[in-house]
Structure 1
Amino acid sequence: MTSTTTSTAVLDALHVGSMDNVAYLVRCRATGRALLVDAAAEPDRLLTLVDGGLDVVVTTHRHHDHVGALAAVVEATGARTAAGADDADDLPLPVQQRLEHGDVVRVGDVLLEVIHLRGHTPGSVALLLRDPDGPDHLFTGDSLFPGGVGNTFGDPAAFSQLFTDVSERLFAVLADDTVVHPGHGAPTTIGTERPHLPEWRERGW
């Protein structure tokens, strides 16, 4: 597990499951309230991570490797559920908060801005935590990784949509020092990935 402290929150990253999924706990420093990004797998480890209580689980998208522990974590903690509106009906349990682009998810005093990134799935969302005293933090699910956008399964229209959304809703508006926390693997920054956008567009994935 790795931890990062911002001016408003403590961010813990835990790698779980056979596909190196990363679950992220966002805990408000002022109130102790907590939000989990993707209850992907290994519910026992996730429940140890969230010791102290959990308010909400946000699922970045509907794929099975991101929801494997969702039902167990929700049952054990009583947390409410949130997911992109266009993926919500495909989750393994009811979703209380259907997220649209521009929505805000609140946990304690921490606000997370919802960014809809269409293409990997219809309802994929990213969450942006702004930090006035340091770099912002962006949780991208499977929509943006070091080295490229998420898998669009050979569908040119889906790739075009995802590339457009990532370009316009992330790279066009976020600072280079914004830390990208993907759904698998290691973090990166917007500035590290920005020079490679033309390459990604040319190769089509």
Structure 2
Amino acid sequence: MTDTPLPPLKAAIIPVTPLQQNCTLFWCTKTNKAALCDPGGDLDKLKAAIAQTGVEVEKILLTHGHIDHCGQARVLAEDLGVPIEGPHVDDKYWIDRLPEDGAKYGIPGSSFESDRWLEDGDTVTVGELVFTVHHCPGHTPGHVVFHNAESKLALVGDVLFKGSMGRTDFPRGNHQDLIDAITQKLWPLGDETAFVPGHGPMSTFGHERATNPFVGDAALGRG
């Protein structure tokens, strides 16, 4: 009898803030090194998850600059003594206004300077895991998506949802840019790729291409 090998990546999705934003705690099973993607708030809940899993968080990753995704990122980064990577610098507009947006939504917001702004084609590492960065503007101008090819997993923030897509009616949003990002950046990653959206349940790119009423192949006349 041989032990079944551990998958290279394990993850836990922790909804945070009154907007129930999906913060993802994920880790490299070989090294126990971990990252938090989009820790927008409820830091006690996130710290409890870190303690429960026993992982060592080495960085925070951000998909974009909206309050529910990064309002408390700097506070947590300072508490844990780790850097922040992401989003793209074009979302500095949103990060600079986090205190103002926090007051509007009743969520604590603290603006910050990212330790590493990300560009399309960059890679980020967590332990031995490697994620490719895809710049996917439209919901916000500096939105990025993280893709781990080995595990066929993408962290897409508010670009795409199960059965829906991101809003583009915020300042600096662009509807056509978002459709282009989804069809040109995400679909080529493969139908079997699963994704964690910023809100709601997971899905796969293949399922969304087949069924999504906004960006599915049929909806865009590509079926």
TM normalised by structure 1 equals 0.87
Match of 1:190 in 2: 205
In 1, Cα distance between equivalents of 2:163 and 2:170: 17
CA contact (8 A) 2:27 2:33 kept: yes
Match of 2:23 in 1: 23
Match of 2:180 in 1: 164
**Paired AA for residue 27 in structure 1:** W
Pair 1:85-2:89 in alignment: yes
Which one of 162, 165, 186 corresponds to residue 149 of structure 1? 165
**Paired AA for residue 60 in structure 1:** T
CA contact (8 A) 1:163 1:201 kept: no
Q: What whole-Å deviation, never above 9, does each CA across 1:83-108 have from its counterpart, x for those lacking one?
A: 12211464311211110011000111
In 2, Cα distance between equivalents of 1:130 and 1:168: 17
Match of 2:128 in 1: 109
Q: How many residues align?
A: 193
In 1, Cα distance between equivalents of 2:35 and 2:120: 19
**Paired AA for residue 23 in structure 2:** A
Q: What whole-Å deviation, never above 9, does each CA across 1:24-83 have from its counterpart, x for those lacking one?
A: 012111111111100111011111222343111111111111112212211210110011
**Identical aligned residues as a percent:** 28
**1:35-50 equivalent positions in 2, closer than 5 A:** 35-50=35-50
**Paired AA for residue 145 in structure 1:** F
Deviates most, 110-119 or 65-74: 65-74
Which one of 125, 128, 143 corresponds to residue 124 of structure 1? 143
In 1, Cα distance between equivalents of 2:81 and 2:6: 26
Task: Could you tell me which runs of 5 or more consecutive residues in structure 1 were left unpaired when the two chains were aligned.
Answer: none
In 2, Cα distance between equivalents of 1:90 and 1:53: 29
In 2, Cα distance between equivalents of 1:87 and 1:154: 12
TM normalised by structure 2 equals 0.80
Partner secondary structure for residue 54 of structure 1: strand
Partner secondary structure for residue 98 of structure 1: coil
Structure with the higher fraction of residues in strand conformation? 1
CA contact (8 A) 1:88 1:98 kept: no
CA contact (8 A) 2:35 2:58 kept: yes
**1:41-80 equivalent positions in 2, closer than 5 A:** 41-51=41-51, 52-80=55-83
Who wins on radius of gyration, i.e. which is larger? Answer: 2
